[in-house]
Structure 1
Amino acid sequence: MDKNTVRDQVLDHARTLLMTRGYNAFSYRDLSERVGVKTSSIHYYFPSKEDLAFEAVNAYSADVMSSIYAIDSSAPADKKLDRYVKVLVRVIGEEGDRVCLCGMLAADIASLPDNVRQAVQAFFRANENWLAKVLAEGEIQETLHANNQPEAAARALFAAFQGSLLAARLFQTPARLDEIMQVAKR
């Protein structure tokens, strides 16, 4: 798809605003200024902010999860986890001013429309499921530690990664992600 279409520009800028400001701190006016179109043009593609947020979450999730699923399945578990962290580091961007779009929206969960909330939950579950499989492999390979509870360890590790993305933004350093990963390694 041509990334120069108005629709795609709106979606890209919405993703950035969601990752830097959250759901409640941007408007169609912000988008119209960034894209250079009237708000009515944005409403043509996304009749409501709910529609825009839902599409942004789905596009973000598809991008991130395709990067995660592209990690070599034959690699050792600890190397898979290293590559996973590299995917997360890309999330924060070069300026270090972004957090995971779904992590940011999780903070706004009480004010999110139901379909957006469910899409955010699906993103969390997909990451936790992938991590649980990798942690289980790592225990067998004796390279990762999950206390024989890979699902619980995956939830804790993903929560730690989400928190470290916030700290990386706060301190403007991706090194916070590397620190968390060391916890899972033996």
Structure 2
Amino acid sequence: MSDTYANLLDLAESESCARGFTAVSYGDLATLAGIRKASIHHHFPAKASLGLALVDRYADRLAGELAELSERSRSGGDALRAYLARCRNDLRDGTAVSLLAAMIADAANLPEEMRGQVTRLRELVVRWLGDVLQRGRQDRSISVSGGPREEGLAVFVQLLGAQLAARAARDPSLFDAASATISARIFRS
């Protein structure tokens, strides 16, 4: 991977998290990277190819981060707490969301092949959350009343909405309030 290619992905991710993928233009990226738009087309002939590369890279990174969270956590409650902190960190100062949240917010306007990748990425996180909740149920660090899959989806959707609301209002306390209700479910770890 060339330095320019990686830099363009970094810039596209940062801008997507702050403004949404559909709001990012090659002109914006060219200005930020200090290159011509034609140079971006050399690496990404179409915006869909940029988006696919962006989601692929993010999926690899996120899968590794989730595996690491699971491995280093003593309990399901610890893993959930670490994930909440990760989601909070994505907010920066209320000006951004995770790339997954940004892509989901733009899903209706994404090319079909990107929507499929975003759906698979969402399912990866929901499945991981379900596993964490099941682990928490077994080690008694999390109170889980429903099935792990349904509960994982509920946690995911609550955090997704909290990130989007916090970015829209530029107020991270909105995320904090929503995640506090999730944290309240952790009663021992």
Do both proteins adopt the same fold according to a TM-score greater than 0.5, normalized to the shorter chain?
yes
Task: Please tell me whether residue 52 in structure 1 is matched to residue 50 in structure 2.
Answer: yes
SS in 1 for 2:166: helix
Find out whether 1:37 has 2:9 as its counterpart. Answer: no
- Taking the aligned partners of 2:118 and 2:17, their CA distance within structure 1 comes to 13
The structure where helix makes up a greater share of residues is 2
Report deviation, 1:177: 5.5
Percent identity reads 26
The alignment status of 1:127 with 2:128, answered yes or no, reads no
Q: Does 1:81 align with 2:66?
A: no
Q: Once structures 1 and 2 are overlaid, which stretch shifts more, 10-19 or 35-44? A: 10-19
For the 8 Å contact 1:164–1:180, the answer to whether it is kept is no
Q: What is the total number of aligned residue pairs between the two structures?
A: 183
Q: Which has the higher contact order (CA 8 A, sep 6+)?
A: 2
Q: Deviations over 1:27-64 (max 9, x none)?
A: 10000000000000000000000000111111122222
The runs of 4+ residues in structure 1 deviating greater than 6 Å are none
Residue 136 (structure 1) shift: 0.9
Deviation of 1:139 after TM superposition, in Å, equals 1.3
SS of equivalent to 1:138: helix
SS at match of 2:8: helix
Q: Which amino acid aligns with 1:181?
A: I
Quote the Cα distance in structure 1 between the aligned partners of 2:14 and 2:157: 21
CA distance in 2, matches of 1:104, 1:176: 20
Shift of 1:146: 2.1
Q: What TM-score do the two structures reach when normalised by structure 1?
A: 0.89
How does the TM-score come out when normalised to structure 2? 0.88
SS in 1 for 2:27: helix
1:97 corresponds, among 89, 95, 98, to 95
Quick check: 1:156 aligned with 2:154?
yes
8 Å Cα contact 1:20/1:99 also seen in 2: yes
**Is residue 172 from structure 1 mapped to residue 172 from structure 2 by the alignment?**
yes
CA distance in 1, matches of 2:104, 2:179: 23
**Superposed, which structure 2 residues align to 1:133-148 within 5 Å?**
133-148=131-146
Shift of the 77–50 alpha-carbon distance from structure 1 to 2, 3 Å rule, reads same
Relative to structure 1, is the Cα distance of residues 87 and 177 closer, same or farther in structure 2, using a 3 angstrom cutoff?
farther
The superposition leaves residues 118-159 of structure 1 with CA deviations (integer Å, 9 ceiling, x where unpaired) of: 111111101111111111111122221221411100000010
Q: Quote the Cα distance in structure 2 between the aligned partners of 1:129 and 1:111.
A: 25
Three-state SS of the structure 1 residue aligned to 2:39 is helix
* 1:172 to 1:148, Cα distance in 2 relative to 1, 3 A: closer
Range moving further from structure 2, 36-45 or 115-124: 115-124
The answer to whether the 8 Å contact 2:101/2:160 transfers is: yes
Q: Distance in 1 between matches of 2:56 and 2:178?
A: 24
RMSD: 1.9
Equivalent position SS for 1:58: helix
Q: Deviations over 1:81-126 (max 9, x none)?
A: 1111122223223x33111212122122222111110111111101
